[in-house]
Chains A and B, each alone.
Chain A
Amino acid sequence: MAEEPDDRKPLLSKKIDKFFTGLADAWNFVKRFFQEVLFPPYEFKEVIHQCYRIGVESLPLISLTGFIVGVVFTNQSRPSLSEFGAASWLPSLISIAVVRAMGPLVTALIAAGKVGSSIGAEIGSMKVTEQIDAMEVSATNPFKFLVVTRVLATTFMIPLLVMYTDFVALMGSFLSVNKNEMVSMTTFFVQVFESITFLDITSSLFKSVLFGFTIGIVGCYKGYNSSKGTEGVGRAANAAVVMAMFLIFIEELLVLQIVNAIRGS
């Protein structure tokens, strides 16, 4: 079904109007998600299926990335700390960096790339091939089946992936510290937990839930609103990744301000 040309006069300009219209659509999309998620029927099997795809299938990639982050960050930080004779502070530095920021951020960015693009492309292709319309015709709620399940899956799985990433990154850091500073695992983890607080863990969890929701909702929104055939599918996948990553950084910044305000009070 071809789009009808919009002959209405723009309120401000075509681009600005399009931006605000897009915001309104996004708001309505999110609102619809919260309306649909609370009421049955619940698509548990599809949620589990999506959890498997988003969580379990992303685990190897996330684990490898987390391990590399731990090792590289430790090795890069060592010279600076050694200059001050503070190489023994490496576990504390790594734990703060990984738990507070790098764990959630790296996991979310990798997931945005892998999962966000996948969701955008999948739903986008369903949209352009009119499978979604077909579902509506067959009395299946496509929003509930496609969007709600995927957003719930990303919202639940990203925090778990962050836990894995934190653990693997700390293990990678431990291997590096153990090799160079001959620090035992007990000492390493004592120093790791010495530096972090419950607020760090709580904020990390909150951020990862937020990032997961963002990846899911952006991927679904972009896919659900894709058009222009196969080209639109590619655009939807690309836009899902770019928009999700952009929002993740914005959210990281906002959450950091809130957490710092809580920490300071």
Chain B
Amino acid sequence: MRGENKRSVIVGIFVFLGIAILVAGVMTLGGQQKKFVKSVHLKTVFDDVGGLQAGNNVWFSGVKIGTVRKINFYGDSQVEVEMNVEKSSVDFIRKNSKATISSDGLIGNKIIVLYGGSTDFPAVLDGDRLESVMPLDTDKMMETLQENNKNLVAITTDLKVLTGKIANGEGIVGSVMTDSTLAKNFKSIVVNLDRASSNSLKVINELNSFTAKLNTKGNLFNDLATDTSIAPDLKASMESLKATTANSAELTQKLSEITDKLNSSDNSMGMLLNDPGFAESLRSTMENTDSATYKLSKGLEALEYTWPFNRGFKRKAKAEEKAASDN
């Protein structure tokens, strides 16, 4: 009887430990897969989920925050993914956060990665739909790589042909490589080029020196280039010059008109300058005037000694003498 009791106790302990292992396993699994935490449902829609399965993890900033709950077809050919995200993480996921598909290693399981989102937007709520970003398609990458390989083959083929021609002395480069005369000429060209480059260097140095002078403060060019106050003065001067030029043009035009008139004989000055008959007549008039003036002078001299005018002339002579003695 005692042996039976002992066996019963041992069986009980055995059963208890077995169930304890089962319960511990279930609790650990549930805790790790966030089965026993409060969660919210988020959705996103992809064109292609690339083998994502229900139960795959959801990461945010590299931390596992949930699992994929359900995957359904959506619309014509898109796929809607429902996620269970633990409630404690929801405050950090904003409504403008994005979802993409990645993997947790080079050959790891597919995961959903939530990223981005700014604090300007509120946190997500249960049932919200996040914008999805399609991940890099490895097939497309391989296609591009294949295209690159083809290009590389074409390039190396061309290069092979090119180097073959060079080795055979074909073309300019081939000639340079194989013809000694051409090589000497080429060397000479290089020497000349070297000389030219040293001259260029000198010129550049002088130009540098010149520009340095131009850049010196107080220099006219420097002032023109840097002093902003000169510009309005220069503008005003230009305006004055423009006005002066306009006046000069007008003056020139008027002078031209005057000259035209002087060249014609239908006016007094033109007649004076251009009409020989009038000149002759004027010369005759001048001669007559000269003669008349002479005769008038003689007449006036005679009048100085004639009565009653002689008395006046005497009084004038006396006044002049008196003024001279007073001084």
Contact = CB atoms under 8 A, between A and B. Distances in A.
A163 B22 contact: yes
A194 B28 CA distance: 10
A115 to B, nearest CB: 15
A93 to B, nearest CB: 12
B141 interface: no
Interface stretch (B10-18, B142-150, B152-160, B225-233): B10-18
Contacts of B25: 163, 166, 193, 201
Nearest to A49: B7
Contacts of B28: 189, 193
Interface stretch (A31-39, A51-59, A213-221): A51-59
A20 interface: no
Contacts, number: 64
A197 B55 contact: yes
Contacts of A164: 17-18, 21
Taking residues whose C-beta sits less than 8 angstroms from the other chain, chain B's interface range is 20 to 34
B7 to A, nearest CB: 4
Given A159-B18, A201-B26, 12 more contacts: A45-B4, A51-B14, A52-B7, A52-B10, A55-B11, A156-B15, A160-B18, A164-B18, A193-B25, A193-B29, A193-B33, A201-B22
A51 B55 CA distance: 37
B35 interface: yes
Interface of A: 45, 48-49, 51-52, 55-56, 59, 84, 86, 156, 159-161, 163-164, 166-167, 189-190, 193-194, 196-198, 201, 205
A55 B11 CA distance: 8
A197 B4 contact: no
A55 B14 contact: yes
B173 interface: no
Interface string B17-37: 111011001101110110100
B8 interface: yes
Given A45-B4, A49-B4, A86-B107, A197 B11 contact: no
Contacts of B11: 48, 51-52, 55-56
| Cβ-closest 10 pairs across A and B | A160-B18, A52-B7, A163-B21, A193-B32, A51-B11, A163-B18, A193-B29, A52-B11, A48-B8, A56-B14
Nearest to A160: B18
A198 B21 contact: no
A196 B29 contact: yes
B146 to A, nearest CB: 24
A56 B9 CA distance: 11
Given A45-B4, A56-B10, A164-B21, A190 B15 contact: no
B107 A84 contact: yes
B32 A194 contact: yes
7 contacts: A52-B10, A156-B15, A164-B18, A166-B25, A197-B55, A198-B26, A201-B22
B19 A160 contact: yes
B68 to A, nearest CB: 12
A112 B18 CA distance: 20
Contacts of A167: 21
B14 A59 contact: yes
Contacts of B35: 198
B291 to A, nearest CB: 140
Nearest to A191: B32
Nearest to B16: A160
A74 to B, nearest CB: 19
Contacts of B10: 52, 56
Nearest to B23: A163
B64 to A, nearest CB: 9
Contacts of B107: 84, 86
A59 B11 CA distance: 11
Contacts of A56: 7, 10-11, 14
B197 to A, nearest CB: 55
Q: Which of B4, B11, B15, B28 has the most CB of A within 10 A?
A: B11
Q: Which of A55, A160, A161 has the most CB of B within 10 A?
A: A160
A55 B14 CA distance: 8
A190 B32 CA distance: 8
